[in-house]
Copies of this chain bind each other. A is one copy, B any other.
Amino acid sequence: MKAEAQALKGHLEVLLLAALEDGPRHGYAVKEALRDGSGGRFDLPTGTIYPALHRLEEAGLITGSWSTVDGRRRRTYHLTAQGLRRLHADRSNWHGFAAAVTALLERKPWPATT
């Protein structure tokens, strides 16, 4: 349950959306998918996951519905059309962001000092 990353700041939501892209999942399953899909790197506490899902739902990017499986309540989320559009936009934005950071980190020499 240790979180390697406050570095996720600002990039968590796109990961949650991506986790819901190929089908609905309940919150706990999203948490596991993130952990397993990242080789354990993004093993986020539920105190991070659930509020983030609530934000996404409130923003209309996902919708949730309750069900009960084996006596346990589940809230299963799926992407809305708006959420899908946002995922596409954010994914493309991520690539631009990552490319820019990587370029700056590799850069030598940097633009000249005034």
Which residues does A use to contact B, with CB under 8 Å? 5-11, 14-15, 18-19, 21-23, 25-26, 28-29, 32-34, 36-39, 41-42, 91, 93-98, 100-105, 107-111, 113-114
Q: Which residues of chain B are within 8 angstroms of A10 by Cβ–Cβ distance?
A: 5-10
Q: Which residues of chain B are within 8 angstroms of A94 by Cβ–Cβ distance?
A: 101-102, 105
Task: Determine if A102 and B98 form an interchain contact, defined as CB atoms under 8 angstroms apart.
Answer: yes
| Bound form: Cα–Cα A9–B26 in Å | 28
Task: Determine if A113 and B15 form an interchain contact, defined as CB atoms under 8 angstroms apart.
Answer: no
Q: Within the complex, what minimum Cβ distance (angstroms) separates A7 from chain B?
A: 4
Q: Within the complex, what minimum Cβ distance (angstroms) separates A93 from chain B?
A: 8
Given contacts A7-B10, A9-B9, A98-B98, contact A22 B109 (CB under 8 A): yes
